[in-house]
Amino acid sequence: MNVAGFLNFRGLLVASYLLLAFSCTRQMPDDVAEAYRQLPLQVDFNFHIRPILSDRCYPCHGPDENARKGDLRLDQQTAAMARLNQSEQYAVVPGKPGHSVLVERILSQNQEHMMPPPESKLSLTAEEKALLIKWIEQGAEWKKHWAYIPPVKSVLPEVDQTSWPRNQIDFFVLAKLESLGLPPSEEADKRTLIRRLSFDLTGLPPTLTEIQEFLQDSSVNAYEKLVDRLMASPEYGERWCWEWLNVARYADTNGFQGDPVRNMWPWRDWVIDAFNHNMPYDQFTIQQLAGDLLPQATTNNVLATAFNRNHMYNGEGGRIPEETRVENVFDRVETMSTTWLGLTMNCSRCHDHKFDAISQKEYYQLYDYFNQTSEEGIGYTGRVKPILDLSPPEKLQKVAELQDYVDKISTQVANKELEKFPRDPGQPAAESKAAVDLDGDNLYALGYTPNQRNPYYIGLLENYYRDRDQVYSALLKELKEAKRKRDQQSADNLQVMVMDQVDLPRKTFILDRGIYNKPLAQEVTRNVPEILPPLAPEDANNRLALAKWLVSDHHPLTARVTVNRYWQYFFGNGIVKTVEDFGVQGALPTHPELLDWLAVDFMESGWDLKKLFKKIVMSASYRQSSKVTPELLETDPENKYLARAYRGRWPAWMLRDQALLVSGLLVDSIGGPPVKPYQPAGIWEEATFGKISYKQDHGDALYRRTLYTFWRRIVGPTMLFDNASRQTCSVKASNTNTPIHALTTLNDITFVEAARVMATRVLQEGSTDDLRLKLAFELATSRLPQANELAILSGRLKELKHQYAGSPEDAKALVTVGEFPLPTGLNTADHAAYTAICSLLLNLDETLTRQ
């Protein structure tokens, strides 16, 4: 169906006890009969019925062949309408609920007979039973799942309040609100708007000058000018880069044991740049998924493909390389699927999808696209091939020379091992009869060619043979050292893990239950899932073709999924609340026509993200106040229908950036290697058994935007709460409210230092306490305090000054938190008092929250 098929069912609630055409009505239990009377006039398959079937019936009567019971499937029309297994009966007889076994079974009270069966622990409510009955009664119309049908731009709906809408978005929002009898909220005031816009578009609050300029600009397009200025600022690219790093599971280490450092940050800078240059999203997609396969691929095109290598990497000793490699391919498939298709594929790794029509075979068909890279699962560093070396030529040359030497010695060792461990051609030395008596580690080492073997295992062999075969041991030592030298030089070089394509394609098989070494006999070849449009005929059916297919104009999912993901950053939730799941178990869109309108418009604009964002923030819907009235809390507690703006805590990274900006500490340079700001002692040591220490940076590095903070995968930055773990793809942020957050913004050095530097600024810029308090308040909240607020602060300030004058030690301690130099000439007690006030202001709910 397309979205026009969704029913606007307000006003259609009919007490329809006259509709007693259903012959079973008499047999309906009272509660079902009562629910039946409350149903809308017209039951809609996608809106009402599929969610019930999918949730309660598909576990046994859905796409998963192995789980199917009674040979009945209810996910396909023909199958659902077909004659039941070896009987004269039908589950569903359109128009005739009395003849439909489905109805009989859902109404049955017999434990042996009822559906869903008691042992499933699932049940249907009276309303759901009534809906199924009425749907059959009305002809059991079947529709394709909405998200698999390409979107179309519908005409703008009519609204009563014609003066309210500012652009197309508002017609859809207002029409819905009017249908529910909810008035939209008034527009937020200018200070709230500039604060909201600045955070949303750049991740930072406005400066006082920017606020003044906006307040004083009375031109009709003042708001639009502000939007344009913010979108043109370099901070825009940093702000949107952050969200993409969560999607791309970006981190500065591999994760797992040893957690070695990697150098993926040039890719991060590529992303900032792409956003700042407003690279069309189709290009953005193609370059990251398959830039290496573009004709005449540039260095930047190849760099973009580091997207596919940002996954965790398990290089533990004793790890089976193929298992690592296969897991990495899984991760690539699933990241692509969540990000572009909004489909959760991981179930299909092991079995046919229980709900969506994606078979295990189709999963491995997608897997085949990502199965063709030269990564072998062998490697223990953050620079596992294929890599792109961005170093100057002389450094490239050095690595090449060292590699040549490794190759030379490897060949010598290999020749020696042919003598020493005679075996059949093609077999590893470990298979030789001469290796029978070796212990596990040495045998393990000999399972790999000398070239593949890592220095640790080479060292074990070297030790073992020191007294047993000196020549061999010496060769091994030479090889170990050659590899170490090469690795040291590589570590010094700027090497980014990227994608390539092997010359001889790997064969792909379905893996039984997703286990790496349990391939089924049937080979699969790359293709896209059948429920989606076919691939365009391309020269080669490879990753590039897949990437182009994702952003082709007729694709039903990519534009919707993308628009929806970005919508959530402006409105708190997606139009489809399950941002990660557009499948049949996902939430239905609250505004289907709007989602489709935006998706089509996005494609028509040439996948222009800045245009999309501008459309969103220019709307009246966006500009509403976020105030919650008792009526709104009652009728729409989750704000699904957008009768008010989204109100919620800013992400932790923005809170830190805000503290740095308002204190004047922020160092706004863009890009470069990650930095290590303050972190409580011992965190890395504890996580790595003392093997890795955190060496905090100093000076400017302490005050860079949080985007540049070093991210150790096994223990992320401690001051961030609610952020994605950066271990797998994450498209949706959580927003919780816990005491741990309070402790962070109250006591973390970053925030206390920001408060004391902010206090310096306030003391220096304001001439009286009143002016200083107003200034501090405005820095924190972007507005001026009301009289009652100012009174509370004045009272507290007076008391604090008194307290700190009486405790010079405390005062001194507080104003010297952090490494930023303390200016001379300030009264320490006053400075401490203002520091406490600034800390308080940085913890106001209003400071922490998007209003």
Partner 1 sequence: MTMHPIEQLKASMTRRSFFSKTAQGIGLAALGSLIHPGVAAGRALSNLQSGNTLSLPHFAPKAKRIIYLFQNGAPSHVDLFDYKPTLEKWHGKQIPDNLVAGKRFSTMTGKQQNRPLISPRGKFAQYGQSGAWVSDLMPETAKIADDLCFIKSMYTESVNHAPAITFFLTGSEQPGRPSMGSWLTYGLGSTSADLPAFVAMTSRDKEASCGQIFYDYYWGSGFLPTRFQGVKFRGGGDPVLYLKNPDGMTRQVRRELLDDLEKLNQINLSEYGDPEIVTRISQYEMAYKMQMSVPELTDFSREPQHILDMYGPDVHRKGSFAYNCLMARRLAERGVRFVQCMHAGWDQHRNLNYQLQVQCKDTDAPSAALIKDLKQRGMLDDTLVIWGGEFGRTPFLQGKIEDYRNWGRDHHPYVFTLWMAGAGVKPGVSYGVSDDFGFSPVENPVHVHDFQATIMHILGIDHELFTFKHQGRRYRLTDVHGNVVTGVLS
Site for partner 1 in 54-73 (CB under 8 A): 54-55
Cα distances from 771 to residues 107, 767, 774, in angstroms, run 72, 7, 5
What character string, x for contact with partner 1 (CB under 8 A) and - otherwise, covers 396-415? --------------------
Separation of alpha carbons 460 and 457, rounded Å: 5
B/e letters for 644-672, b = 16+ CB within 10 Å, e = fewer, are: bbbebbbbbbbbbbbbbbbbebbeeebbe
Q: Which of residues 573-592 bind partner 1 (CB under 8 A)?
A: 578, 580-581, 583-586
> By C-beta, is 54 or 288 nearer to partner 1?
54
Q: Which stretch binds partner 1 (CB under 8 A): 132-140, 205-213, 433-441, 466-474?
A: 433-441
Q: Does 843 bind partner 1 (CB under 8 A)?
A: yes
Instruction: Supply the minimum distance, in Å, between the C-beta of residue 300 and partner 1.
Output: 33
Question: Could you give the C-alpha distances from 304 to 196, 250, 283, 310, 534, in angstroms and in order?
Answer: 31, 13, 11, 11, 26
Q: Least distance from C-beta 816 to partner 1, angstroms?
A: 8
Q: Are 511 and 519 in contact (CB under 8 A)?
A: yes
Least distance to partner 1 from the beta carbon of 551, Å? 24
Q: Closest distance between partner 1 and the C-beta of residue 152, in Å?
A: 25
C-beta of 295 vs 630, nearer to partner 1 = 630
225 binds partner 1 (CB under 8 A): no
> Measured from the CB atom, is 38 or 629 closer to partner 1?
629
Which token pair is 61?
Answer: 């009567």
Nearer to partner 1, 283 or 725 (CB): 725
Contact positions with partner 1 (CB under 8 A) in 446-465: 447
Q: Distance between CA atoms of 135 and 51, rounded to whole angstroms? A: 13
Per CB under 8 A, the segment of 1-9, 267-275, 491-499, 685-693 that binds partner 1 is: 685-693
Could you say whether residue 786 binds partner 1 (CB under 8 A)?
yes
CA pair distance 90, 373, nearest whole angstrom: 50
Torsion of CA 157, 158, 162, 164, to 10 degrees: -30
CB of 468 to partner 1, least distance (A): 14
Nearer Cβ to partner 1, position 333 or 402? 333
- For the bound state, the minimum distance from the C-beta of residue 583 to partner 1, rounded and expressed in Å, comes to 6
Q: Which of 351, 307, 331 lies closest to 256, judged by CA?
A: 331
**Amino acid of residue 743:** L
Window of 194-202, 533-541, 657-665, 800-808 that interacts with partner 1 by CB under 8 A: 800-808
Q: 490: closest CA among 254, 264, 263, 259? A: 263
> In this chain, which of 504, 740, 767, 768 binds partner 1, going by CB under 8 A?
740
Site residues for partner 1, 318-337, by CB under 8 A, read 318-320
Helix then strand then coil, % of the chain, to nearest 5: 50, 5, 45
With binding defined as CB under 8 A, does residue 630 bind partner 1?
Answer: yes
Distance in Å, CB of 216 to partner 1, minimum = 25
Of 230, 347, 429, 551, the one binding partner 1 (CB under 8 A) is 347
CB 792, min distance to partner 1, A: 5
CB neighbours of residue 17 within 10 Å: 11
Among the listed residues 32, 380, 811, 834, the single contact to partner 1 using CB under 8 A: 811
Q: Does 640 bind partner 1 (CB under 8 A)?
A: no
CA distance 277 to 557: 25
Span of 13-21, 266-274, 591-599, 675-683 interacting with partner 1 by CB under 8 A? 675-683
DSSP string, 370-431: HS-SS--S---SB-PSSEEE-S-HHHHHHHHHHHHHHHHHHHHHHHHHHHHS---TT--GGG
- Is 692 a binder of partner 1 (CB under 8 A)? no
State in angstroms the smallest separation of the CB of 23 from partner 1: 29
Q: Quote the DSSP letter at residue 816.
A: T
For 326, 329, 407, 725, the CA distances from 378, given in Å and listed in that order, are 12, 14, 16, 25
Is there binding between residue 814 and partner 1 (CB under 8 A)?
yes
Residue placing its CB nearer to partner 1 in the complex, 89 or 125: 125
Beta strands in 441-513 (DSSP E): 495-497, 508-511
162 or 736: CB nearest partner 1: 736
The C-alpha atoms of residue 849 and residue 649 are separated, in whole angstroms, by 4
CB of 374 to partner 1, least distance (A): 22
* Minimum distance of partner 1 from residue 256's CB (angstroms): 7
Decide if 550 contacts 558 (C-beta within 8 A).
yes
Q: Nearest CA to 195 among 180, 209, 207?
A: 207
**Residue 794 lies near partner 1 (rule: CB under 8 A):** no
Nearer to partner 1, 26 or 121 (CB): 121
**Judged by CB, which is closer to partner 1: 241, or 438?**
438
Q: Which of 743, 765, 771, 802 binds partner 1 (CB under 8 A)?
A: 743
| Binding-residue total with partner 1 (CB under 8 A) | 107
Of the candidates 542, 517, 476, 492, the one whose C-alpha atom is nearest the C-alpha of residue 377 is: 517
Min dist. Cβ of residue 663 to partner 1 (A): 15
Asked if 757 touches partner 1 (CB under 8 A), the answer is no
CA angle 198, 204, 206 (to 5 degrees): 55
Burial category of 638 from C-beta neighbours within 10 Å (exposed 0-12, middle 13-18, buried 19 and up) = exposed
Minimal CA–CA distance to 389: which of 306, 474, 504?
Answer: 306
Residues within window 698-717 making contact with partner 1, judged by CB under 8 A: 714-715
Residues in 101-160 that interact with partner 1 by CB under 8 A:
121-123, 125
Residue 141: CB minimum distance to partner 1, A: 23
61 close to 105: Cβ distance less than 8 angstroms = no
Q: Which of 11, 392, 682, 699 binds partner 1 (CB under 8 A)?
A: 682
Assess contact for 127 and 35: CB atoms under 8 A.
yes
How far separated are the first and last CA of the chain, in Å rounded?
Answer: 37
Q: Peptide bond before 592: cis, by omega within 30 degrees of 0?
A: no
Output 617 or 793, the one with its CB closest to partner 1.
793
Among 141, 441, 668, 697, binds partner 1 (CB under 8 A): 441
User: Would you say how long the chain is, in residues?
Assistant: 851
Verify binding: residue 848, partner 1, rule CB under 8 A.
Answer: yes
Which of 509, 810, 819, 827 lies at the binding interface for partner 1 (CB under 8 A)? 810
Nearer to partner 1, 320 or 390 (CB): 320
Binding to partner 1 in span 251-310, by CB under 8 A: 256-259
